[in-house]
């Protein structure tokens, strides 16, 4: 009987220590880990037949030229003005080309969901403006890049399908 009391007491102490440790761990985790939100803009690039090969990397994705332009100081500073911030948007931004596609993904990760969306939208809009200016400069210098168009469409997957967004992006290329 005495042995049983000691065992019961040890089991009770172990259960109490486990519960206190779990509560302390939960409180510590919630106070030190900041949730991060991701917002993505997908840009569809349609290269013409004459320059298809020059825009492709070996994995079938578009080359990093777009990523370099989209993360450039020109685009980021314009995006900062559009978003009304002096924060370094580039530190939250990832630009990647999707393999075997014509899609460039702009991904913004930020502790604030609204800020992530604002930043990625600002970068997408200003990246497209910069690309348009680059084409105008090339045309002015009589160095044209034939058959390259960039269209974009923002969409909420809860409200419409990806196919509808791609269709709208395609329509935007020819406006």
pLDDT beyond 90 at 96: no
34: pLDDT strictly greater than 70? yes
42 and 104 Cβ atoms separated by less than 8 Å? yes
pTM summary value: 0.58
Question: Which pair of tokens denotes residue 91?
Answer: 């530190």
Q: Which pLDDT tens digit goes with each residue over 113-157?
A: 889 889 999 998 888 888 777 654 444 444 444 344 555 566 666
């Amino acid at each position: 009987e005495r042995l049983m009391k000691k065992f019961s007491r040890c089991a009770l102490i172990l259960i109490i220590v486990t519960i206190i440790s779990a509560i302390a761990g939960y409180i510590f985790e919630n106070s030190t880990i900041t949730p991060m939100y991701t917002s993505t803009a997908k840009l569809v690039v349609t290269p013409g037949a004459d320059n298809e090969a020059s825009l492709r990397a070996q994995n079938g994705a578009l080359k990093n030229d777009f990523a370099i332009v989209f993360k450039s100081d020109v685009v980021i500073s314009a995006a900062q003005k559009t978003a009304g911030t002096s924060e370094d948007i580039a530190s939250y931004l990832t630009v990647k080309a999707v393999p075997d596609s014509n899609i460039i993904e702009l991904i913004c990760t930020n502790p604030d969901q609204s800020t992530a969306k604002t930043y990625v939208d600002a970068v997408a809009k200003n990246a497209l403006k910069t690309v348009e200016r680059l084409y105008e400069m090339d045309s002015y210098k009589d160095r044209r890049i034939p058959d390259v168009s960039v269209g974009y469409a923002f969409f909420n997957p809860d409200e419409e399908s990806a196919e509808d967004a791609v269709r709208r992006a395609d329509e935007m290329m020819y406006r």
